[in-house]
Amino acid sequence: MSASLPSAGDVPWRCVFDQAAAAMAILDLQGRYLHVNGALCRLLGYRREELVGRDYRDFTHPDDIDEEGPVESDRTLEKRYIRSDGSLIWALVARAFIRDPDGEPICFLSQIQDITQRRETELLWQRSFANAPIGMALLDLKGSWTAVNDTLCGMLGYTREELLSMSFADVTYQDDQQQGFRALEDLGSGLVDSVNVEKRYRHRDGHQVWMLIRATTVPGADGEPAYVLSQYEDVGDQRLVDSHLAHLALHDPLTGLANRALLADRLEHGLGQLARGNGVLAVVLADLDQLKPTNDRYGHAVGDQLLIAAAREIQLAVRAGDTVARLGGDEFVVVSLLPDEEAAVALRDRVEHHMNSDVLVSGVRLSLRASVGYVATSDPSIAPDRLLHLADRDMYVSKRRRRETGADR
């Protein structure tokens, strides 16, 4: 049936309708335009008289025509319109009935929003994701895959459906799971917005696949982390060679801890994270108090084993993502990005607890004793050397106190 617009109050509603910034149209129940506003004319590139009386299907892409016509109320759909110059636009169309006093529908109100840019961005993302030469996946904050590309499926030997029913932990070697969970926790809490992790995944046929994983957070509407986007590279056998050479260059040969070069890099990285407003950077410094007497009494071989035991103890006090370094001699340093000063104090206390304990070294039970100092900062402009100096100064305050109380004996 056809419908004519009510004449009462005609001027006010027409003014609002015609001057609205959003594209709008009133259609009869058969889908013919009864009235269109200027925004719709500009959107489609037609004059008002070229649209009024025409069927909306005349301006709809053939693949997007709903054959049943506008039969549903309060319906929202995405479709393509054909503009006067032949170009296409994507639009979000919201339809609602206009009813007479008895509640019977007499016509439709359509509101049209141009979403072409959004759809083109989505298409670009979908194609980039699907056709990427590296593995790509989207994960929720619990670690379950919500989208995976074919490359990742091929790398792990699973179908898309199988991977989407799993979390990353299901195919991670048990010894490597902790660093994955720690990275996910840091990303989900907003402590960091990106991480790089090397770990082993288990292929469906059972063999291990070494992966370099670069993960970054995707914010939700509230600006908080909602998803994690990860990229996966199979580093293969070359990783064993490269990692060994890199380890020799960046780690202490006795304890396996980071050396000065890697410590400097981790300090710079931590200060870079502070520039984004992420918590505080804590530097904890521990100095062994009894290394020389141990060397004098038992020999340097036992002294080396004491250093190795100290390295093991300090690693028990820190998180998987923290950096633990040996500066040479009997000094150890921890670098950790933490939420606040309270967490930094707790880290310092854990280090002190573990570095003051009895350990079994070469069949001899020795007392591991260390003076511990720390500094925490939220200032990204502070120099790394300044941080180490402040931690060292605090450590010497602790050492002096221990000597005065006899705690270093």
pTM for this prediction? 0.48
Residues 152, 296, single domain; the answer is: no
Query: Contact at 8 Å (CB) between 51 and 112?
Result: no
Q: What is the pLDDT of residue 7?
A: 47
Angle at 273 between CA 267 and CA 279, to 5 degrees: 100
Q: Is 97 helix (H, G, I), strand (E, B) or coil?
A: strand
Asked if 256 and 281 sit in the same domain, the reply is yes
Tokens at residue 198, please?
Answer: 């090397």
Does one domain contain both 273 and 400?
yes
**Could you give the number of structural domains in the chain?**
3
232 and 328 in a single domain? The answer is no
On whether both 334 and 275 belong to a single domain, the answer is yes
408: tokens are 């270093």
Q: How many CB atoms lie within 10 A of CB 323?
A: 20
Q: Are residues 170 and 276 in the same domain?
A: no
The CATH number of residue 385's host domain is 3.30.70.270
Q: What is the CATH number of the domain that holds 52?
A: 3.30.450.20
Query: Taking Cα atoms as reference points, which of 359, 190, 165, 331 lies closest to residue 255?
Result: 331
Please check whether residue 197 lies inside any domain of the structure.
yes
Q: What is the pLDDT of residues 317-344, one digit of tens each?
A: 998 778 999 987 889 999 999 999 999 9
How far is residue 318's CA from residue 102's CA, in Å, rounded to a whole number?
A: 72
Cβ–Cβ under 8 Å, residues 333 and 285: yes
199 in Cβ contact with 182 (< 8 Å):
no
Pairing of strands 331-338, 280-288: antiparallel
Q: Interhelix angle for 341-354 vs 300-316, to 10°? A: 150
Q: Phi, psi at residue 352, to the nearest 5°?
A: -60, -40
d(CA 123, CA 307): 56
- 36 DSSP 8-state letter: E
263 and 195, same structural domain? no
- 81-105 confidence digits (pLDDT tens): 999 999 999 999 998 888 888 888 8
Q: Which domain holds residue 219?
A: 132-241
Residue with tokens 């070359």: 238
In order along the chain (409 residues), what is the average pLDDT of each group of 10 residues? 49 78 91 93 94 93 78 74 94 90 88 90 86 92 94 94 93 88 90 88 87 90 90 74 64 88 90 83 92 79 86 90 88 94 95 91 83 94 94 92 70
Q: Return the number of other C-beta atoms located less than 10 Å from residue 321's C-beta.
A: 17
State which of 60, 93, 120 marks the end of a domain. 120
**Six token digits for residue 356:** 């003051």
DSSP letter, residue 166: S
End-of-domain residue from the set 241, 267, 291? 241
Q: Where are the beta strands (DSSP E) in 188-330?
A: 194-202, 208-219, 225-234, 280-288, 323-328
Same-domain status, 230 and 289: no
